[in-house]
Structure 1
């Protein structure tokens, strides 16, 4: 175990530690000294017992599990289940009152929702939608909730697991008749350009429907969110990246969660991370100390925290050697099989290529992209197209892969930079290009492999054309004129065309006639 710790030193140092070369690391995990002092308030609603359509089994399971998780990481939770319209309005009012002075506002909703003309509505259990006016009087517009959250400067997070196949949407589409196209499947994208510090997360892409999961179990989206949201000291951007990957894989690439964020910097759902202390040992062969002064004996070491640090270091670098370092330290760890899979894929993709060198996170975050740094890359159109494809493979939609960097591509680059903690400029630098290529390699290969193979048409030699029959001679002659064949006669008669002699006689007669006229 000690030797594995020595081998893992490099991976740990890249992520959070700095140590003198040649020294072994002793990691002591002690409780964090900085608890989350600011108030954090969450609203959780789960609606499943709908009265006019079949009930949903999972929203209550999802929302109650989410409420419990939020309480464990320090949120005050305002919660309600199977609420009618009056109950939803009352609960949102209670939540709004508790937001006064809070630094973090969080909303989780599981149940039915409907999107009409770009607006999203959350549906109480007593919802009946007979016409468009019912949207205003029998549902709750998500913008009403957002307005309560945005009355003060704070971090706002809205998570909607409400993209299920919706019978209300079908009924409303029938009532709108000619305007039925305004009723979308799933939810509509929520723009947050004017709302700094806000994140919106959907269970799947806007306009798509999400899987509900087996009855009585959590949905694929909530399952992944519950798995990652309590991880201490991990930013919410990283949490949502992991959720996206888990859902994409668990649904056989049928569902991809969507996130839109304007949060500046890094925000942590569970900010109480362990404090890491580093002690030097004279040589790798020296025995590990049994205790560190000032640290309780039971806190040294904490295998789970050490494993998490190693894994996050490997995840950030994407380097094969870091996955190997993780496996050496934790051959039966929680992420061991994932590490083996990634090492195997890297070897299969490039068996003869040397292991790639990881980009230093410190150098990456210190370098700001600009128009000048991007021009210095001298990206050809095919390089720009590949950059757009790689952004798309990671879930950052550039709006097209045309090889031209327009507003959509700039926005995709900015969102990617946010998730990596890079200065947000919308332009790439050399290190950022390298980091983007490294991070997207696996997903990019999958995207390329999924493209349909272009079929090459093989044209068989054309068989000899049959001799023309009566009525076809004229067309055949114009299609393939032969030097020995004269233009066919226009008349229908005896079938054959005029001979060369006949044509010559005819032209000679015309010439004599013209000459006579001139005389």
Structure 2
């Protein structure tokens, strides 16, 4: 019940959160993944950068000064190690953490969004859009991974709005623009800051200026360190100050701010002004706040039994503390206002969050991510079911749903839908999966089910054939498997998953009965 979807209470700290416990809730963590790439060996001399590594170093240092644990790539990072390191980073994010992703380097805008270029990106032609998507990193994948942790706040900061590093051929060019990046749709639950708006390029330096950082990064670092600056104010201040500094050099550069982070005006990366008048790590904050729109969601709650629905609500009875989101971000919807104005509902919301956090803390990997997504779905379903009628009727519906949900999550021997084991291929067991394609199949329930189904169809076909026909089919299947893995490997996880799913469904149709 965080504001927006009423995340079930207090949990994380700024930038990306996941859920913790009914047991003592641990302190919110601050984590950052910082990348700055100067060298692009496969591209031309004009595509080499001078300050991206310095920018990443400066941002990483500033984040450490305000209490973040920082993972750094500050000179060079090829696609595979960069993705692997980011995956490990995401796996360390805990409920209540604040997370920042910063990238300084080259980016390119394709038809479905912004893509960040690793050091080993090949030289691409205007017709290589499909290859470009597999050799780069989709910004939406970064945002999605951060959001999927359940973090309370996620910040994605891109100083990548430079000239398109792939020269046009005749009238054609790779990407939607040869200048900067294009307008994006705000990622749900993420605060995104571009160093320049659509069609503009970011200044690396100003003539006669010996500053080691880009125009955007020097302003961003100064603002980032200041206590009392909320995330919303951070975006606005950086936008205004960068635009002013760039115009003083005769250049149009206005950073683009995309804010879909609920409660951003109440979140402070460097602490509040009252808590600190120095650039020291932020003092411990109150109990973590459940991820905005990202907390509770298991199977849809069934309509409560009449005996439960008719149970009188006693708003005058104070039941424990109220949810932090009632005061931090402030209630926005009618349901939020009702919860925050009713002590019993507020106390129930806090208790549910504690139970939810404790349950989530016992899960890991894909199971925890499914649990988080189920919880979001539960909130949406509950709000839709309880949204109409008088305030008293809504209170009764909400209280019944929250208490039923709390009872369900409190039963350790009652698995939720997200925790029920999915059917997986035998080869996924143990330490067998090694390649990226194998890991994606084993971690994705839908791909796992299709792999099991395809294996059954394959075995059935082999059993029906004899002699040379059987040998040809086995050989053909091996060739298909090798071709599929080669064709689908590389690129963003979502692209690999889509390629695998399409391939296996087509193959199942070919050999199925």
TM range (shorter): 0.3 to 0.5
Q: Normalising by structure 2, report the TM-score.
A: 0.44
Greater Rg over alpha carbons, structure: 1
Q: Normalising by structure 1, report the TM-score.
A: 0.43
